């Protein structure tokens, strides 16, 4: 069971889970290819990059926005939906061309929650805003 599902409170439901864009796997691929030249010396770095992405969880429930990172240890960033002030997209030229970007969720006096190299950032922004600002 994933961390997000495991941490649900009473009456809380997962509304959307967000996956990293395939561009996020590029460093791992480069370390793998470099391993061919270094007789596998960089394959441990590639394995670490893969595990970082494998154990990354990002999503929104009907009560909060959650990012969980960590392979052995766990680091979570969470923000209640009623604390959200803005949802910003940061997308460079490569992000616009290939459809990825960063989402920064800013809250009231709370640290930001950031989704890095997320696939289809506009859909993620809409998903967060539709849950945090339901139409009456």
Residue 82 included in any domain: yes
Residue 30: domain span: 14-132
Residue 57 included in any domain: yes
Residue 7 included in any domain: no
Q: What is the pLDDT of residues 76-110, one digit of tens each?
A: 999 999 999 999 999 999 999 999 999 999 998 76
Burial of 39 (0-12, 13-18, 19+ CB in 10 A): exposed
Looking at the 3D structure of the chain, how many domains does it have? 1
Residue 5 included in any domain: no
Residue 9 included in any domain: no
Alpha helices per DSSP H over the chain = 3-6, 26-37, 43-54, 93-98, 121-132
> At 123, is the pLDDT very low, low, confident or very high (cuts 50, 70, 90)?
very high
Q: What CATH number is given to the structural domain containing 125?
A: 2.30.29.30
Query: CA-to-CA distance for 99 and 83, rounded, in angstroms?
Result: 28
Residue 89 included in any domain: yes
Place of tokens 């997308």: 91
Query: CA-to-CA distance for 105 and 93, rounded, in angstroms?
Result: 21
Q: What is the pLDDT of residues 28-84, one digit of tens each?
A: 999 999 999 988 889 999 999 999 999 999 999 999 999 999 999 999 999 999 999
The phi and psi torsions of 29 (rounded to 5 degrees) equal -65, -40
Q: What is the pTM of this model?
A: 0.85
Residue 41 included in any domain: yes
Residue 2 included in any domain: no
């Amino acid at each position: 069971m994933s961390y997000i599902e495991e941490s649900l409170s009473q009456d809380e439901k997962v509304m959307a889970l967000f996956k990293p864009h395939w561009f996020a796997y590029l460093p791992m691929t480069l370390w793998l290819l470099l391993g061919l030249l270094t007789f596998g010396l960089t394959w441990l770095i590639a394995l670490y990059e893969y595990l970082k992405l494998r154990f990354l969880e990002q999503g929104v429930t009907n009560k909060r926005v959650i990012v969980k990172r960590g392979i052995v240890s766990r680091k979570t960033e969470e923000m209640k939906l009623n604390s959200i002030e803005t949802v910003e997209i940061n997308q460079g030229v490569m992000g616009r061309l290939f459809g990825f970007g960063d989402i920064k969720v800013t809250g009231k006096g709370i640290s930001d929650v950031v989704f890095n190299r997320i696939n289809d950032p506009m859909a993620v922004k809409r998903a967060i805003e539709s849950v945090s600002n339901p139409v009456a």
